[in-house]
Structure 1
Amino acid sequence: MSVSSIKRFTRTLRAEMDKLITLPSVWITLICTFILNLGVVAAFTSVGLKGEAGTQGILIIGLSSMGYLQAGFIIIGILTTCSEYTGGQIRTTLTAIPWRSLQLTTKHLALAMVTIPAAFIIVVLGMLYPWIRIRDTAVGGDITPLTKALIGATGYLTLTTLLSAAIGAIIRRTTPTLVILLGYYFIVSPLMKGLLRSFITYLPDAAGQSMYRPSSTDELNALTPVQGTGILMLWALILIAVAVVFYRKRDA
Structure 2
Amino acid sequence: MSTPTAPGPRSPLTPVSDRGRWRRLGCAIAFEWTKLAGVRSTLWLLATGTLLTVAGALLIGASARASGVNGYDTATPAPWIAAQNISFTQVAILLVAVFAVTSEYASGSIRTTLLSVPSRGSVLLAKAAVLAGGSAVTGAALVLLGTVSAAAVAAEYGTYTGAQLGHAVLGTAISLALTSILALGIGTTLRNTAGTILTLVVILFALSSVLPIFGQAWLTDLVAYLPGSAAGALVTNASEPYGPAAALAVLAGWAVAGLSAGYLALRSRDT
Q: Give the share of equivalent positions with the same residue, in percent.
A: 23
Q: Distance in 1 between matches of 2:172 and 2:75?
A: 17
Bigger CA radius of gyration: 2
Residue 246 (str. 1) matches residue 257 (str. 2): no
Judging changes above 3 Å, is the alpha-carbon distance between structure 1 residues 193 and 157 closer, same or farther for their aligned structure 2 residues? farther
AA in 2 matched with 1:206: S
AA in 2 matched with 1:179: L
Q: Distance in 2 between matches of 1:5 and 1:184?
A: 35
Q: Distance in 1 between matches of 2:52 and 2:105?
A: 29
Judging changes above 3 Å, is the alpha-carbon distance between structure 1 residues 234 and 214 closer, same or farther for their aligned structure 2 residues? closer
Q: Give the root-mean-square deviation of aligned CA atoms.
A: 2.2
- Equivalent residue number for residue 208 of structure 1: 231
Q: Distance in 1 between matches of 2:84 and 2:135?
A: 20
Alpha-carbon distance, 1:74 to partner: 2.2
Alpha-carbon distance, 1:88 to partner: 0.6
AA in 1 matched with 2:249: G
Residue 169 (str. 1) matches residue 188 (str. 2): yes
Alpha-carbon distance, 1:93 to partner: 1.1
Gaps of 5+ in 2: 1-16
Judging changes above 3 Å, is the alpha-carbon distance between structure 1 residues 141 and 38 closer, same or farther for their aligned structure 2 residues? closer
Could you say what secondary structure the match of 1:40 adopts?
Answer: helix
Cα distance per residue 1:197-228 (max 9 Å; x no partner): 21221222222221113637xxxx41111110
| Aligned 1:99-110 pairs, distance under 5 A | 99-110=119-130
Residue 197 (str. 1) matches residue 201 (str. 2): no
1:120 aligns with one of 103, 127, 140: 140
Could you say what secondary structure the match of 1:251 adopts?
Answer: coil
Q: Distance in 2 between matches of 1:131 and 1:193?
A: 34
Q: Distance in 2 between matches of 1:119 and 1:61?
A: 14
Judging changes above 3 Å, is the alpha-carbon distance between structure 1 residues 17 and 54 closer, same or farther for their aligned structure 2 residues? same
Following TM superposition, the consecutive aligned residue runs of length 4 or more in structure 1 with deviations greater than 4 angstroms are 52-55, 138-141
Alpha-carbon distance, 1:171 to partner: 0.4
Alpha-carbon distance, 1:14 to partner: 0.9
Gaps of 5+ in 1: none
CA contact under 8 A between 1:148 and 1:212: conserved in structure 2? yes
AA in 2 matched with 1:18: T
Total equivalences in the alignment:
247
